[in-house]
Every structure is written in C-alpha cells, then in structure tokens.
Amino acid sequence: MNEKEVLDALKKYREMDLKYEDGRILGSMCTKPHPISKKISEMFFETNLGDPGLFKGTKKLEDEVIQMMGNFLNNNNPFGYIISGGTEANITAMRTIKNISRKKGNKTTTVIIPETAHFSFEKAREMMDLQYIKPPLTDYYTMDVKYIKDYIEDNKNNKIDAIVGIAGCTELGTIDNIKAISKLAEENSIYLHVDAAFGGFVIPFLEDKYKLNNYNYEFDFSLNAVSSITIDPHKMGLAPIPAGGILFRDISFKKYLDVEAPYLTDIHQATLIGTRTGIGVASTWGVMKLLGEEGYKNIVSECMDKTYYLIKKAKEYGFKPVIDPVLNIVALEDENPSETCLKLREIGWYVSICKCVGALRIIVMPHIEKEHIDEFVEALASVKKN
C-alpha cells in the first residue's frame, strides 16, 4: 500500500466508530479530549517514560503534573505517575498495599472494599491473591462505616491491611464517607486508598450549590490516613487516552514498588508498565495549564447543570432516578435494564447499566448537550412503549 491507500483504508475503519460529538455515547467516562491535546500528542508522540533518562524534559513534565494534581488534592509533596488508566492506578495501589503487608511478615493481604468498586480491583485480587471484605451498602449506596468499625474491633487478630474508598463510583457516582473511614484507618494504622478515577477531576471543582446536604465530599490528602489516590486525567480531566493517575502521599511509598531495572537510565522502575508514552503526561500538563481551576469549574458546572436537566426531563416522561445526583452520573430505575439497553442500542443510543441496582446509567460528560438529552429521553420513552 502507498501512504494514501493506507490512510484511506484507515479512514473507512475510523468511520465505523461512534463520535462523541453526535451525543449518542451516554455511558462513557471518556469524552472528546481538549483540542490542544492533538498538537501536544504530535509533539510528544515518540517519547518513552519507561526510560526517563532519555526523555528528561518529559520526565520533568510528569513531576510537574503530579505536583499540580497534588496541589488540588491538598498535598504539597506528592509522588506518583501518569499511567495507562484507572485500572493500572488501582492495581498499582494494591501492589503497594500487598508489598507493605509482606514486609510486615503477613502471609495474606486483607482489604475492606466497597461492593460498588470498579472491576479493576477484581483483576488486582486475582493477580495478587488478595482477600476482600465487602461491607453492606447504605441506602445511599456507600460503604457502611459502622460495619467497618465493628469488623475491625471484632477481628483484632486478623489485621486489616487496607481500606479502599470510592470518590465517584462507576455506577452511581456516589462518594463513600472517606472522612469517617480515614478516622478509623488512622486510629488502627490501616492504609487507605481512594479511587477517585472519575471524581478526582469533578469534586474539587464542584460548586456548593450542586452538593447534597447529606454528603461528605472530602476525599483527598487533607484526610490523614489517605495514602494514595487514583485520579484519571483521561476521564473528566479532558486529556486524551492514555492518561490515568496514581498519586501517593509522598515518595516513601516508592520503595514498595521499585524493581531493579539494570539496563535503563534509571536503576529502578516502579510503574507496572515499562515502555510508556509521554503523550498523556504532556497533554495533561497542557490541558491543566490552559483550563486552570476556572476552566475545570466551568466544565463541571455545565455537566451538573445538564445532569439536573436530564433528571427533570426524565421525570417528565415518568422515569425515576435511583438517587439524587451526587456527581454528573444519572441512574434511572428500570425493571429490565439489559433489555432496554439493547433496544436503545438498536436505535443508536449507547447507555450502560448498573449492577448494584436495576437501572440504566448515563454519564453526563462534556460532549453531551441539552438537545441530545431531549432526543434521548424521547428515544427511551419510545423504547419503553414497544
């Protein structure tokens, strides 16, 4: 093939993909990246942070980006990486927990983790043979803190290594009571990891008027026991894929991740993935500098405004939300969500479903406009009629 033939052929494949701007992608936590990231991706397309000594500028950018994210997560001295996504970030956190536990001489690693945790934790459990304890959920679909407290007290001999809290759970956008959990973790010297893959770029920029009264939105390093946070720029951070983030409280956690890497410019490597692009790092840096706090606040406010609009519209058509929205995620009650989801797909609408409750799930990402919401609610009503 010559270059034109290659590009023409690729274009045909690309045309089979859905486009965010058509507003039909309603179940994704990703969105159209900020336009500046196209130029940045080109500039950094050959960079490899797997061997940082060769790409010193890109490595410096990574350090700066981790510092910038640390700043809005209330940590002046963070350590971390921009990696492939939330899955790698969560697996990295679990690797740290497991290695700390092994260093203490424990044979097993026991972690308290919500029912609502993302399935990346299941991959970690399987890979590292971890023991999970899953507390019941409250009426707000968050972890029952009283259960955790009692469990810790009743199992003094079977020490808990870590607790995972979620700030913006995949299905409903709920936030665990991380403040109360952090207190328990601190009192009992337990590691606390927070999965804010989605919520990390939402909660710090959420205006008070969108906050629910019965909620505690604190989730970051200002809480003493929080040792690590997953926060993904390629979700609400508007960076292109791959840009996940793992931040630790400080560099002291690095030693639990380091393996010897004799043939690299650095003698140790801490990330799970070896060869890794600098595109996510540079794009996150660029998008964050360009948008600034104000930019993210505006984006989050617009998404929340459209979230409430969707709820209003859905109610007009007789659909009921499972909970008041905590973040820009809406779950609509449905007796047979899988069937409704498939029927919607047949007419070009892509929502997803919840596992913890019978519901359709819609993420109101920046690419979704009010007109899309109007059209979607009508499509949903027509599907339910047939």
Residues 290-329 that bind ligand EBR (CB under 6 A): none
The least CB distance from residue 369 to ligand EBR, in Å, is 18
Q: Which of 82, 113, 124, 197 binds ligand EBR (CB under 6 A)?
A: 197
The least CB distance from residue 29 to ligand EBR, in Å, is 4
Q: Which of 50, 78, 86, 337 binds ligand EBR (CB under 6 A)?
A: 86
The least CB distance from residue 330 to ligand EBR, in Å, is 15
Q: Print the binding letters for residues 158-177 with ligand EBR: x by CB under 6 A, - otherwise.
A: --------x---x-------
Q: Which of 217, 232, 357, 361 binds ligand EBR (CB under 6 A)?
A: 232
Q: Which of 81, 141, 191, 198 binds ligand EBR (CB under 6 A)?
A: 198
Distance in angstroms (rounded) separating the CA atoms of residues 61 and 66: 9
Distance in angstroms (rounded) separating the CA atoms of residues 218 and 194: 11
- Which residue, among 145, 241, 215, 217, has the nearest Cα to 187 in the 3D structure? 145
Give the nearer residue to ligand EBR in terms of CB position, either 186 or 350. Answer: 350
Residues 101-140 that bind ligand EBR (CB under 6 A): 118, 120
Stretch that binds ligand EBR, among 83-91, 146-154, 214-222, 259-267 (CB under 6 A): 83-91
End-to-end CA distance of the chain: 48
Q: Print the binding letters for residues 177-196 with ligand EBR: x by CB under 6 A, - otherwise.
A: ------------------x-
Q: Which of 23, 24, 26, 29 binds ligand EBR (CB under 6 A)?
A: 29
Q: Which of 23, 85, 237, 286 binds ligand EBR (CB under 6 A)?
A: 85
Distance in angstroms (rounded) separating the CA atoms of residues 386 and 376: 16
Tokens at 329, concatenated: 């995620």
The least CB distance from residue 198 to ligand EBR, in Å, is 5
Distance in angstroms (rounded) separating the CA atoms of residues 171 and 380: 19
The least CB distance from residue 86 to ligand EBR, in Å, is 3
CA 60 to centroid of chain Cα atoms: 24
**Residue 280 interacts with ligand EBR (CB under 6 A): yes or no:** no
Based on its alpha-carbon atoms, the radius of gyration of the chain, rounded to whole angstroms, reads 21
Give the nearer residue to ligand EBR in terms of CB position, either 1 or 16. Answer: 16
The least CB distance from residue 87 to ligand EBR, in Å, is 3
The amino acid sitting at 8 is: D
Stretch that binds ligand EBR, among 80-88, 276-284, 295-303, 367-375 (CB under 6 A): 80-88
CA dihedral 205, 111, 355, 206 (to 10 degrees): -10
The least CB distance from residue 6 to ligand EBR, in Å, is 27
The least CB distance from residue 325 to ligand EBR, in Å, is 16
Residues 233-262 that bind ligand EBR (CB under 6 A): 244
Distance in angstroms (rounded) separating the CA atoms of residues 332 and 324: 11
The amino acid sitting at 181 is: I
Contact 242, 81 (CB under 8 A): no
Output the DSSP codes for 131-172: EEE-PPB-TTSSB-HHHHHHHHHHTTTS---EEEEEBS-TTT
The amino acid sitting at 35 is: P
* Pairing, β 244-248 against β 226-230: antiparallel
* Pairing, β 359-363 against β 329-333: antiparallel
Q: Which of 23, 24, 26, 30 binds ligand EBR (CB under 6 A)?
A: 30
Q: How big is the site for ligand EBR, counted in residues (CB under 6 A)?
A: 16
Stretch that binds ligand EBR, among 26-34, 206-214, 280-288, 318-326 (CB under 6 A): 26-34
Quote the Cα angle for 273-54-56, to 5°. Answer: 95
Q: What are phi and psi of 299, to 5 degrees?
A: -65, -45
Contact 113, 134 (CB under 8 A): yes
Residues at the site binding ligand EBR, with contacts judged by CB under 6 A: 28-30, 85-87, 90, 118, 120, 166, 170, 195, 197-198, 232, 244
